[in-house]
Structure formats: structure tokens, C-alpha cells
């Protein structure tokens, strides 16, 4: 721990203080130090989107951000947004439309989709596809995921 | 993979940042959207990361005196939402949505992308096409470099040790200017196989050489295409041969030509 630094951040509404190595990614910090394993780790180089988180209200890649960079930030994960019921509509739609099979991509997919929901306007299927193009799903072929998101954003 | 060990500092002032950057093994960390993957893949092993995101005054977009000055820390998302960029820099505005995905655009920066000088990235070609001027700050001076002279080769720029790219100035587009940005990628947000930033007679290709490759075509399309074929030698990548890329560059030239 030769380069370790103290960080303070707010995770899902709770203030958290920890000593971390600069090399530690935010996603690993959340999963391993805080036990928040809802967000997944896939490719570890920003391609797959499984680690999508919300930092200060904006979606980011949890594997492309260091925990030290989140010092002073507000971090929301799939756990917090489930507990607050913010994701409830999307989760229901994903369930009903069969928009997941193995579920590995789902936490990241929900965070990316919620980013569209918060824009409070209608989107075409093409725009939805474009928005989730940074989130890979290897099971569904995306059709059902687009169906589920479309139902929530377009009512 | 996980990144190797390094020290981290987040200076509050430019002077402090430049001081830290003068240390051996120091590297700039801005949005980190290219640096962190390269750390994760252990392609890079700095001793110290100097996080410049705490510096004031590098995150602004300002239009004045016929130019738009964009701070190095302005993110892709900021560019995407900026009315100044939309109004004055249509070429840049067209290019931004091609840069990766929302989650990456929220953190990646203009300065980071330009300083990295990935030959397949969008901004270097846009900067060359628009004849942007780069502001480079060191402990002792501020110097200005034309975009065309900034890119020296594969991931190689005019930046010297202890220097920081602090802002970029783009000339405001005139009403008669014609700008088109087009690129071909296998999936939305992927790096381009080949791309083209066209501004009036200037055509700058990305993904077609070790840096942005610039042409000036004033004649007709057929002549321009023949010229392109004779001169452009795009390097093959994992999926596309040089011949494929050359063909695709011709396709883009025609598309840009017809929509200018």
C-alpha cells in the first residue's frame, strides 16, 4: 500500500471512507471493498459496458475510472437505484419482455437505459439501439432489450 | 486485467501540475478513457499519474474574435451539448457522436484525445481540417502550434516533456464553408475503419495513416478519387486490408463530395 490514499465518497446515499491504492478501479472498489457486486466486471477495458455506474448523475465505465478519482463524488449503483425504486419500471419491463437470459449485462444495461428514461422524451428504436451500443449482450440479440426500453421511454 | 502500481496526485493549480509532470515517469491523467484501458492492459506503466481534472479554467468553451476556444478538459459530452460548437464548428459537432459511447463521452476529453494522437480517432482529423491552433503550456512559456504540425506520427505529437496541452482554438465556420464528417465503423462507437473530415477543399482522412492524412482537392470527383488512389497507402488493421481501406476511403470521399 505504498501509494495508498484516503477517499471519501457517497455511495447509494451513504458516506463511505476508505484507504485505496491508486491502481484500484472504482468497480473493483465497489465490488470488493463494499460488497456491491451488482455491477459486473467484463472486459476491463471499456468495451462491454457491464460495469456501467452513475457518478455525479452521469453514466460512466466503472473499469475506466479509478477509485481515487471518485473522491468527493456521488456514486449510484444498480443496488441503490433498485432500492430507491428508480429502476422499477425498467426492471418490470425487462422481466415481462424477457430482456435477459444469463443476466450478466443487465445491471449495466439498466443503468444505460435509465439514462435515456431520465431525458424524459420519446426515442426511436434506432436511437435506443445507438444509446445502448456501448453495452454488450451475448444472449438476447438485443431485440427484447430494445422492446423493454421502448416500452418505458415511450410509455 | 488490473493496472500496475503507480502513485497519484491531483494538483489544484497549473503550476503545481507542471511541477509534478516534470518528475520522471509522470503521466497526465485527464478523462482516462484511453489511458486507463492501456494501464489495465499493461501497455503503459507510469510511476505517477497527475490528475489534471482539478485544474480551473480548462473546461470552458468560449467563442470570441472569430474563434472558438475549447479548454483541454472539455468532455465529449460537453462538446455534444454545446450550442457554440453546434453553431460555429459544424464539422466538430458532426464528429462528436462518432466518439465511443455515452458513458465514455461523459468522461473523455478533447485534450486527452488530441494529446494521445490515435490515428483512428476523430478529433485529430477534425483539428487538421479546421486548421485549429493548439495552446501548449510549460513552466516557462505558452506556445502555439498549428494542428498540421502537432501530429508527428503514431501516438506521437509535438508535446515535449513537462508540457501540457491546455486549450485548442478552432476558427469559426463562415456561412459559405462546407463541412462534412463521415466514417465507417463495424459497430456504433467503434474506432473507425476509415473516416473523413472534409472542410471546403480540404479532405483529412483518419485511420488511413500514422496520423491524419490531408489532401486538397479542387478539381472534379473523378480526378480526386484517382489522386487518392495514387497517394493514400492506408495501413491494414486486424480486419481490413490496405486495399479494403483504400476502397472505403474512396467511398467516403464520394459521399462527402456529394453532400458538401
Per-residue confidence at B219, pLDDT binned at 50, 70, 90? confident
Q: Are residues A77 and A92 in the same domain?
A: no
Residues of B within 8 A of A110 (CB-CB) are none
Looking at the structure of chain A, the number of domains it has is 2
Q: Can you list the positions of beta strands (E) in chain A?
A: 5-11, 14-20, 52-55, 58-61, 74-76
Q: Is B25 on the interface with A (CB under 8 A)?
A: no
Q: What is the CATH number of the domain that holds A74?
A: 3.10.20.30
Question: Among A49, A81, A113, which residue terminates a domain?
Answer: A81
Interface test with chain B among A3, A54, A75, A132, by most B beta carbons within 10 Å: A3
In sequence order, the 6+-apart residues with CB closer than 8 A to the CB of A18 are A6, A7, A29, A33, A67
Q: What is the DSSP letter of A31?
A: I
Domain containing A10 equals 5-81
The model scores a pTM over 0.90: yes
Tell me the pLDDT tens digit for each residue of B62-116. Answer: 999 999 999 999 999 999 999 999 999 999 999 999 999 999 999 999 999 999 9
Cell of B171: 476558427
In sequence order, the 6+-apart residues with CB closer than 8 A to the CB of A24 are A66, A67, A68
Q: Are residues A76 and A109 in the same domain?
A: no
B102 and A25: CB-CB below 8 Å?
A: no
Question: Among A46, A81, A116, which residue terminates a domain?
Answer: A81
Domains (range + CATH), chain B: 7-54 (3.30.43.10), 61-171 (3.30.465.10), 180-259 (3.30.390.50)
Nearest residue in B to A64, CA atom: B36
Tell me the pLDDT tens digit for each residue of B133-151. Answer: 999 999 999 999 999 999 9
pLDDT at B11 over 70: yes
CA distance B212 to chain A (A): 24
ipTM of the complex: 0.96
Residues of A within 8 A of B189 (CB-CB) are 133-134
pLDDT at A1 over 80: no
Q: At what angle do helices A143-153 and A88-96 cross, to 10 degrees?
A: 140
Tell me the pLDDT tens digit for each residue of A96-152. Answer: 999 999 999 999 999 999 999 999 999 999 999 999 999 999 999 999 999 999 999
Between CA B254 and CA B258 the distance in angstroms is: 6
C-alpha separations of B219 from A130, B225, B251 in Å: 37, 10, 17
Q: Are residues A97 and A115 in the same domain?
A: yes
Average confidence (pLDDT) over B205-225: 96
Question: Among A57, A81, A105, which residue terminates a domain?
Answer: A81
> What pLDDT score does B1 carry?
85
Amino acid at each position: 500500500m505504498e501509494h495508498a490514499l484516503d477517499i471519501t465518497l457517497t455511495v447509494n446515499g451513504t458516506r463511505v471512507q476508505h484507504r485505496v491504492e491508486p491502481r484500484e478501479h472504482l468497480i473493483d472498489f465497489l465490488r470488493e471493498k463494499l460488497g456491491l457486486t451488482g455491477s459486473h466486471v467484463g472486459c476491463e477495458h471499456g468495451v462491454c459496458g457491464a460495469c456501467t455506474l452513475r457518478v455525479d448523475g452521469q453514466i460512466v465505465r466503472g473499469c475506466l475510472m479509478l477509485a481515487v478519482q471518485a473522491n468527493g463524488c456521488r456514486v449510484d449503483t444498480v443496488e441503490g437505484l433498485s432500492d430507491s425504486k428508480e429502476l422499477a419500471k425498467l426492471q418490470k419491463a425487462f422481466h415481462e419482455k424477457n430482456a435477459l437470459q444469463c443476466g450478466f449485462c443487465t445491471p449495466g444495461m439498466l443503468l444505460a437505459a435509465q439514462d435515456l428514461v431520465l431525458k424524459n422524451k420519446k426515442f426511436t428504436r434506432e436511437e435506443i439501439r445507438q444509446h445502448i451500443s456501448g453495452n454488450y449482450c451475448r444472449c438476447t440479440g438485443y431485440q427484447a432489450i430494445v422492446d423493454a426500453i421502448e416500452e418505458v421511454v415511450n410509455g | 486485467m488490473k493496472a500496475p502500481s503507480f502513485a497519484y496526485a491531483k494538483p489544484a493549480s497549473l503550476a503545481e501540475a507542471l511541477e509534478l509532470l516534470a518528475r520522471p515517469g509522470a503521466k497526465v491523467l485527464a478523462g482516462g478513457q484511453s489511458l486507463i484501458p492501456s494501464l489495465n492492459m499493461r501497455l503503459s506503466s507510469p510511476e505517477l499519474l497527475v490528475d489534471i481534472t482539478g485544474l480551473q479554467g480548462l473546461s470552458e468553451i468560449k467563442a470570441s474574435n472569430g474563434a472558438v476556444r475549447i479548454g483541454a478538459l472539455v468532455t465529449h459530452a460537453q462538446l455534444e451539448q454545446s450550442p457554440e460548437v453546434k453553431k460555429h464548428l459544424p464539422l466538430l459537432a458532426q464528429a462528436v457522436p462518432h466518439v465511443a459511447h455515452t458513458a465514455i463521452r461523459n468522461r473523455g476529453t478533447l485534450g486527452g484525445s488530441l494529446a494521445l494522437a490515435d490515428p483512428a480517432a476523430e478529433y485529430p482529423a477534425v483539428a487538421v481540417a479546421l486548421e485549429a491552433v493548439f495552446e501548449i503550456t510549460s513552466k516557462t512559456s505558452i506556445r502555439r502550434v498549428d494542428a498540421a504540425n502537432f501530429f508527428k506520427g503514431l501516438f506521437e505529437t509535438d508535446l515535449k516533456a513537462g508540457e501540457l496541452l491546455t486549450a485548442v482554438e478552432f476558427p469559426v465556420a463562415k456561412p459559405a464553408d462546407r463541412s462534412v464528417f463521415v466514417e465507417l465503423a463495424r459497430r456504433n462507437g467503434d474506432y473507425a475503419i476509415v473516416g473523413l473530415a472534409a472542410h471546403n477543399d480540404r479532405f483529412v482522412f483518419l485511420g488511413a495513416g500514422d496520423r491524419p492524412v490531408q489532401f486538397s482537392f479542387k478539381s472534379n470527383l473523378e480526378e480526386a478519387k484517382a489522386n487518392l488512389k495514387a497517394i493514400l497507402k492506408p495501413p491494414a488493421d486486424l480486419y481490413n486490408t490496405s486495399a479494403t481501406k483504400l476502397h472505403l476511403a474512396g467511398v467516403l470521399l464520394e459521399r462527402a463530395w456529394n453532400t458538401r
